[in-house]
């Protein structure tokens, strides 16, 4: 199995629900997010060029990130729900799974020390 990954950056604000009132993340705040898409293929599934998928095919994802997430309030941009890193990773996966059938995982970083990954299978 081969895997490739590419990372994308955006800045956004959020408020996390269902936290105790003392929790700092219950207040509106922002992060410089990093999203990593992981795509996979078996050796016999590589393209003639030897790609799992051309990185350039992910330009559409970058455009979507810029239009949908960058400098947005995630509580609104994600259409409701609690915008934790875990939920954001799953939401991105579910939004792009049909467009990118090779997609196997989405990871989200909110800070230089934290990562959440959604990998459904
Ligand atoms: N499992 C999760 N835990 C937390 C999430 C999350 O999405 N999933 N989100 C937050 C906050 O939104 C934010 O990411 C703060 O995280 P934290 O690690 O507390 O960031 P700090 O920079 O304050 O951490 P330091 O340890 O002080 O550097 C919280 N938890
Ligand atoms: Zn946060």
Beta carbons of 83 and 68 less than 8 angstroms apart: no
pLDDT at 80: 87
| Residue-wise pLDDT tens digits, 50-84 | 999 999 999 999 999 999 999 999 999 999 889 99
pLDDT at 121: 78
The CA 68 to ligand 2 mean position distance, Å, reads: 18
23 is catalytic: no
pLDDT along the chain (121 residues), means of 10: 98 95 94 98 96 98 98 96 96 98 98 98 78
Which of 7, 9, 71, 86 is catalytic? The answer is: 71
Q: For the chain, how many residues are written? A: 121
The CA 74 to ligand 2 mean position distance, Å, reads: 10
38 is catalytic: no
Which of 25, 29, 86, 99 is catalytic? The answer is: 25
CB atoms near residue 41 (< 10 Å): 18
pLDDT at 73: 98
CATH number listed for the domain at residues 2-118: 3.30.479.10
């Amino acid at each position: 199995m081969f895997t490739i990954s590419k990372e994308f950056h955006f800045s956004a604000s959020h408020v996390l629900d269902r936290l105790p009132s003392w929790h700092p993340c219950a207040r509106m705040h922002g992060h410089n997010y990093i999203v990593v898409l992981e795509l996979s293929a078996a050796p016999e599934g590589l393209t003639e060029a030897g790609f799992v998928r051309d990185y350039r095919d992910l330009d559409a994802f970058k455009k979507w990130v810029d239009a949908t997430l960058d400098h947005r309030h995630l509580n609104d941009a994600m259409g409701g729900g609690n915008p934790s890193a875990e939920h954001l990773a799953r939401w991105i996966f579910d939004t792009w799974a049909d467009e990118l059938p090779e997609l196997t995982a989405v990871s989200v970083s909110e800070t230089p020390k934290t990562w959440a990954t959604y990998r459904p299978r």
